[in-house]
Amino acid sequence: MTSELTLNLPWVPDTAEQVDDLLVRHGPDNLLAYDDGIQLGVRVLDPAGYRSADAVLGDAREQAEPGKVVLVAGALPVEWRPQLRRADVSFMDVSGVVEISWPRIRVSVGRFAQPARRRRSPVPLQKGHAVVVQELLVSAAGGTDPTISDLARAAGSTPSTASRVVSQLAAHGLVSKRRSDHHVRVSVTDAVKLAQRLASRTDWTSAVALAGFVWGRTVWDVAAHLSAAAVEHHVELAVTGRVGAAFLGVIGTSSPSEVRCWVVADGRPLPDIAALLGIEPAPDDESNVSLADDRRRLGVHRSAMATFDEWTAITSHPIRTWCDLHSERRGTEFAAQLWGVTGLG
C-alpha cells in the first residue's frame, strides 16, 4: 500500500509521482494521507525565509505537534541538508532531492519533480486576457477581492474583457465570483494553478527578443544603466528573470550571464529601441542583454524601482518575474525562492 502526500507548491507536478512508498502530487492542501486512512496536516517551511539551517531547525521543532508533520520544501542550500538529515527533519528540494523521516514513512531519493514539458493551457489567454489574469494574481497577493470594474481598471482593460476572462477562469475552478451590493467580486481559489497557467502561456520564450551588448562591470551595473537610459528616453522598460529576481531579494551563488528586459515598443522596431538605450548589436554568444517586445504589457505592468547593493533598476512585478524565470538556467530553483516574495506563497 502507498501513502499519499499532497502539497500546494507551484513546482510539485499535478500528475502524481511515486517516490518510494509515497505518492506525491499537487493539491489545494498540504496533507499526508496514510494507506490506512489516517490523515496528518503538513507544515511546510520555505527555506528562502531563513538565514541558516539552525533557524530552520528551531522553527521545525516549534511547529511540530500531534497531528502535524513538518516538511522543509523549496530551494534548499546543499550545505544545510546534512544538518537537517542528522536532526531527522524532513525536506524536499526543487532539484529533486527528497529526504523524509515521518512516522511509518522513510523516503530518500535524488530525482523527483523534474521540470515537466510545457502543456498548452486550457484557459485561452488572448490579447488583453493575460494582463487581467496577472492583475488577479496581484490582487490575490495583496489579499483583496476586486470587482470586475476594479480589475478592468487596474489591468488597463475593458469591463467586458475582464468579465470574459473571469468567467473562463471560474469555469475551470480557478476563481470564484460573488455578488456584493451592485458589483461582482472575484476571488482566486487556486493561486498556484493560476500562476502556472499564466507562466506556461506568457513567459519570456513567448516574446520576440533581440540580443545585444552594453558595457558594465556586472549585470547589475548593466541593469541600472538600462533603467536610467529608459527613463531619460521615455521608454517603458522592466528588468525580469534572474537579474530582476536579484533586485527583488533572490540571489544565487553565481551571477546570470544576461539582463533580460521587457520594453514597450509601441510599433517601433526593436533595433531602434535598443539604439536609444545604448545597446550595441552583438551575436547571441557575445551578448549580455536580451530585449523583448512587451506587446501585452505584462512585463511593465506594476513595474517598480528596486535596489540591489549600490544599483537601482526598474524591475517587473514579482509575479511577472516568477513567470519569466522558468526558462532560465536553474530557473525552477530561483522561482521557488521568489514564490514567497510574490505574496502568494
Q: What is the pLDDT of residue 181?
A: 77
Q: What is the pLDDT of residue 145?
A: 92
Q: What is the pLDDT of residue 118?
A: 41
Q: How far is CA 137 from CA 98, 141, 193, in A?
A: 30, 6, 11
Do the Cβ atoms of 21 and 98 come closer than 8 Å? no
Q: How far is CA 21 from CA 38, 40, 117, 241, in A?
A: 16, 17, 25, 37
Q: Which one-letter DSSP state was computed for residue 265? A: -
What CATH number does domain 129-201 carry, 1.10.490.10, 1.10.10.10, 3.40.430.10, 3.30.70.980? Answer: 1.10.10.10
**Sheet (strand 237-240) strand order:** 280-281, 209-213, 289-293, 259-263, 237-240, 311-315, 304-308
Residues of the chain with CATH 1.10.10.10: 129-201
Q: What is the pLDDT of residue 326?
A: 85
- Answer yes or no: pTM beyond 0.85: no
| Euclidean distance between CA atoms 319 and 298, whole angstroms | 10
Q: What is the pLDDT of residue 111?
A: 64
Do the Cβ atoms of 313 and 226 come closer than 8 Å? yes
Q: Is 282 strand, coil or helix? A: coil
**Low pLDDT (below 70) residues in the chain:** 1, 111-127
Q: Please enumerate in sequence order all residues whose Cβ is within 8 A of that of 55, keeping only pairs 6 or more positions apart, or say none.
A: none
Q: 113-117: list long-range contacts, CB under 8 Å, 24+ apart.
A: 113/11, 113/12, 113/13, 113/17, 113/24, 115/326, 115/332, 116/13, 116/15
CA atoms within 13 A on the CB side of 87: 20
Render pLDDT for 86-121 as a digit per residue (tens, 0 to 9).
888 999 988 778 889 888 888 887 766 554 334 444
What ranges in 142-253 are assigned the alpha helix state H? 148-155, 159-171, 191-202, 219-232, 241-247
Which residue has cell 520544501? 73
